[in-house]
Amino acid sequence: MDHPTTQSRPRTLFLGLAPSRRLPIPPSPPIRVAPAPHAMLRKVVLAGLAATAVDAFTAPTGFFGTRQAPAAKINSVKPVSARTQRVNGAASLRAAEATKNKLPASVKPGVVTGQALVDLLKYAKENNFAIPGVNIVGSNSINACMEAAAKYGGPIMVTFSKGGGQFIAGKSLPNKNDEASIAGCIAGALHVRAVAKQYGIPVVLHTDHCQKAWLPWIDGLMAANEDYYKTHGEPLFSSHMLDLSEEPLEENVEICKKYLERMAKCNVLLEMELGVTGGEEDGVDNTGVDSARLYTQPEEVWYTYQELSKVPNGHFTIAASFGNVHGVYAPGNVDLKPVILHNTQKYISEKLGGKDKKPVNFVFHGGSGSSLEDIRYAIEAGVIKMNIDTDTQWAFWDGVRGYEAKYHDYLQGQIGNPEGATKPNKKYYDPRMMLRAGEEAMAKRLIQAAEDLNCVNVL
């Protein structure tokens, strides 16, 4: 079978609709970013998994009264052009119409896996919305995700990174063999499973970028999935991402195919990456990468689609790069070309006979700071999930910062404030107060993201 190799991969880009017309990628400078055991573990995992029959938890109630944190400032979405308003008007109408369609019966409140996840992603693509995929670092950011989803009326993807898992377990723990990263991700997943149904929304449990050197991390999580599957008939996690985009194309696809064969046996979905997402995020540093590598070729996606489709019961999504960069940058530093996704869908659709116009489930990495026009145009091309991290990190911090600013004079000592020299300040410096302010601000930012993604009132 003819397919492009990494060595001979053409550095051209489909910009026109005709597959025969190729235009060279305009040169651009590199993107620069400012410094911004498994056996023992399995026993621990099994003990934890045995405690997951906690579907009847009572929804937690707050103790914060009516005091509200200052609203986070949202500055990352670019102004919308007149053309965007015309295009997005139709997209918004279609998203609103999605609420009239019947949500697949398999999709219920709580963690969604297996066929239910496949049905949910199909429902999203058919109704022109994408699910926010949010990186989390603990129960506070997890809860903010689910709180937001309950408010905007749509699904949410709670995403664990290797570093995020380590942070949940505790940064003081050894992590030489990824034992802390594995244990932390499992602990976070169990937390989601314990409370997700109480929020009344579908939740996708996902893990983020895993490069080749980090595969033992995924191996540990797959062992947990397999153990959970034996007891509960479904995996612990919904999906995992392998990011082998730095490897030659054939090796990338070969390893992904091997893992998909294992995942398919316990109904885990695979997300894989083609091309490179620029910038830096959670230990993955692609700053200064050759700009040509930020754009994926349709032939590469077609080859990948063919190979992964050979896996029985295998389900997958593809993060095809179209200029994506992690982080938020000044205007002009990031050149997204979502037309690549449109042309790739057309290319593969024709290869398959043309019946399915959007055969590929695409995901959008580096979504923070993207223009509304690019987001909506990418959704039109079959993007069913967009990753968000930088913007939600800022929102959480801004909520905490705003709380401190509002109650500054009550946070300078345990005793003494503007109400009197002997007045106690315990209720102001209680960590739950500032953390709740961060949760509220993060949830507010995610509601805005859901609106951008047409993911409002779709349940």
Residue 178 has pLDDT above 50, yes or no: yes
Weakest mean pLDDT among 193-197, 373-377, 425-429, 435-439: 373-377
Both structure tokens of 270? 């695979």
| Calpha distance 350→353 (Å, rounded) | 5
| Calpha distance 164→175 (Å, rounded) | 12
| Calpha distance 71→452 (Å, rounded) | 19
> Between residues 3 and 21, which one has the greater pLDDT?
3
Residue 60 has pLDDT above 70, yes or no: no
pLDDT tens, residue by residue, 361-416: 999 987 666 789 999 999 999 999 999 999 999 999 999 999 999 999 999 999 99
Which are the catalytic amino acids?
208
Backbone φ/ψ region at 266: left (φ over 0), alpha (ψ -120 to 50), beta: alpha
Q: Write down the pTM of the prediction.
A: 0.78
**Helix 298-308 × helix 339-351 angle, to 10°:** 50
Q: What is the share, in percent, of the chain residues with pLDDT greater than 90?
A: 67
DSSP letter assigned to residue 328: -
**What local confidence, expressed as pLDDT, does residue 295 receive?**
85
Q: Match 């970028």 to its residue by tokens.
A: 209
Q: What is the share, in percent, of the chain residues with pLDDT greater than 70?
A: 71
Weakest mean pLDDT among 24-28, 256-260, 330-334: 24-28
**What local confidence, expressed as pLDDT, does residue 276 receive?**
65
Alpha-carbon torsion (423, 425, 427, 433), positive or negative:
positive
- Find, among 23, 20, 25, 7, the residue nearest to 323 by Cα: 25
Residue 359 has pLDDT above 80, yes or no: yes
**What local confidence, expressed as pLDDT, does residue 308 receive?**
98
Residue 134 has pLDDT above 50, yes or no: yes
10 Å CB burial of residue 59 (0-12, 13-18, 19+) is exposed
pLDDT tens, residue by residue, 193-239: 999 999 999 999 999 999 999 999 999 999 999 999 999 999 999 99
Bridge-based pairing of strands 110-111 and 202-207 is parallel
| Calpha distance 223→41 (Å, rounded) | 10
Scored b (16 or more CB within 10 A) or e, 393-427 reads bbbbebbbbbbbebbeebbeeeeebeeeeeeebee
